[in-house]
Structure 1
Amino acid sequence: MGLKWTDSLDIAIELYEKFPEQDPLRINFVDLRNKVLELEDFDDDPERSGERILEAIQAAWIEEAE
């Protein structure tokens, strides 16, 4: 079972592990969306993302990085 847009914490953990050099405080939503789509376990419709979802993923990633 793959990751869905609503799995913000799990996505954040995957992003933290795959992109350790990326500062989640300095990523724009276009780049964040593209990085999520690059995740091997991600399996959701790319068109279902939105600003609120990306904000939740970014916030979880920031928390994971701290």
Structure 2
Amino acid sequence: MTGNTLELYWDATYAIALALIDEFPDQRPEDVGLVELLHLVERLPGFQDDPAVVSEQTLLDILNVWYEETANP
């Protein structure tokens, strides 16, 4: 871990969704496609995993959690 930045890996879908909310507060998850989501996650501070190993299902899980967390604050 570097400083106060949490290290993020693909299996931490909830933590990634929360980081997306913090890092991109004006971005609406319902407007984000899977390719764009992949790029947003890669830009998160602390993201450490290999973008080439993510599955479509993992991206969908992140997107769903992101949507649920922003729809029901």
Give TM-score scaled by structure 1 length.
0.94
Higher helix share: 1
The CA distance in 1 between the partners of 2:31 and 2:47, in whole Å, is 22
State the alpha-carbon separation in 2 of the partners of residues 41 and 59 from structure 1: 21
> In the alignment, is residue 56 of structure 1 matched against residue 61 of structure 2?
yes
Q: RMSD value over aligned CA atoms?
A: 0.9
In structure 1, stretches of 5+ residues that fail to align are none
TM-score by length of 2: 0.85
* Runs of 4+ with >6 A deviation: none
Q: How many residues align?
A: 66
After superposition, give the CA deviation of every residue in 1:4-49 in whole Å (9 maximum; x if it has no partner).
1010000000000110111101100010000000001110011111
| Cα distance in 2, alignment partners of residues 64 and 11 from structure 1 | 12
Structure 2 gaps, min length 5: 2-6
Larger-Rg structure: 2
Task: Quote how far apart the aligned CAs of 1:62 are.
Answer: 0.5
Greater relative CO, 1 or 2 (CA 8 Å, sep 6+): 1
**What percentage of residue pairs aligned between the two structures are identical?**
36
